[in-house]
Amino acid sequence: MASPHRVLCLETLSTSITNINVPILGSVTQRAMDIKREIEEGKQKPFKEIIFCHFGDLHAMGQKPCTFLRQVMALCMYPALLDNSEFPEDTKRKARSILQTLENGSVGSYNEFYSWETLPQRIAHFIQRRDGGIPCDPKNVVVSSGATAAIVSVLTMVVNEDEPLRTGIMLSVPQYPVYVDTIMLSAAVKVEYNLDEENGWSLNVDNIRQSLYKARTHCNPKVLCVMNPGNPTGRVESRECIEDVIRLAAEENLLLFVDEVCQENIFGLGATFHSFKKVLFEIGPRYSQQIQLVSVNSVSKGVSGECGLRCGYIEFVNIDPAVFQKLFTLKSFAVPNVIGMLAMDIMMDPPQPADPSYKTFMEEKKAVLSALAENAKLTEEILNQAPGIHCNPIQGAMYAFPRIHIPERAVKLAQTQGLEPDNMFCHHLLEETGIALAPGSCFGQVKDTYHIRRHV
For residue 256, pLDDT beyond 70: yes
Pick from 170, 173, 196, 171: which is nearest to 444 by CA?
173
Counting every residue written for the chain, the total comes to: 456
What's the burial of 315, exposed, middle or buried (CB within 10 Å: 0-12/13-18/19+)?
Answer: buried
417: which residues sit within 8 A by CB, 6+ positions away? 424
Alpha-helical segments (H) within 51-118? 67-77, 89-99, 112-113
pLDDT at 199: 96
For residue 355, pLDDT beyond 80: yes
What is the per-residue pLDDT across 378-397, written as a single tens digit (0 to 9) for each? 999 999 999 999 999 999 99
pLDDT at 55: 84
What is the per-residue pLDDT across 46-83, written as a single tens digit (0 to 9) for each? 999 999 998 889 999 999 999 999 999 999 999 999 99
Q: Return the bridge partners of 435, or none.
A: 51
pLDDT at 25: 61
User: Is 440 in contact with 389 (CB distance < 8 Å)?
Assistant: no
* Average pLDDT of the segment spanning 16-42: 82
User: Is 301 in contact with 261 (CB distance < 8 Å)?
Assistant: yes
Residue 402 neighbours by CB distance under 10 Å: 22
- Provide the 3-class DSSP secondary structure of residue 43: coil
Q: Return the bridge partners of 202, or none.
A: 196
For residue 264, pLDDT beyond 90: yes
Q: What is the CATH number of domain 103-348?
A: 3.40.640.10
User: Is 107 in contact with 75 (CB distance < 8 Å)?
Assistant: no
* Average pLDDT of the segment spanning 194-209: 97
Give me the residue spans of the domains in the chain: 10-62+364-455, 103-348
- Provide the 3-class DSSP secondary structure of residue 287: helix
For residue 311, pLDDT beyond 90: yes
pLDDT at 295: 98
For residue 335, pLDDT beyond 90: no
User: Is 445 in contact with 451 (CB distance < 8 Å)?
Assistant: yes
What is the per-residue pLDDT across 213-247, written as a single tens digit (0 to 9) for each? 999 999 999 999 999 999 999 999 999 999 999 99
What's the chain's average pLDDT? 94
318: which residues sit within 8 A by CB, 6+ positions away? 289, 290, 291, 292, 293
What are the backbone angles phi and psi of residue 147, rounded to the nearest 5°? -65, -35
* Average pLDDT of the segment spanning 97-104: 97
For residue 24, pLDDT beyond 70: no
Q: Which fold, 10-62+364-455?
A: Aspartate Aminotransferase, domain 1 (3.90.1150)
What is the per-residue pLDDT across 171-187, written as a single tens digit (0 to 9) for each? 999 999 999 989 988 88
pLDDT at 376: 97
Peptide bond into 321 cis (omega under 30): no
For residue 94, pLDDT beyond 60: yes
pLDDT at 77: 98
* Average pLDDT of the segment spanning 338-347: 98
Alpha-helical segments (H) within 386-407? none
For residue 333, pLDDT beyond 70: no
CA separation for the pair 124, 118 (Å, rounded) = 10
Task: Report the percent of the chain where pLDDT is more than 90.
Answer: 85
What is the per-residue pLDDT across 393-445, written as a single tens digit (0 to 9) for each? 999 999 999 999 999 999 999 999 999 999 999 999 999 999 999 999 999 99
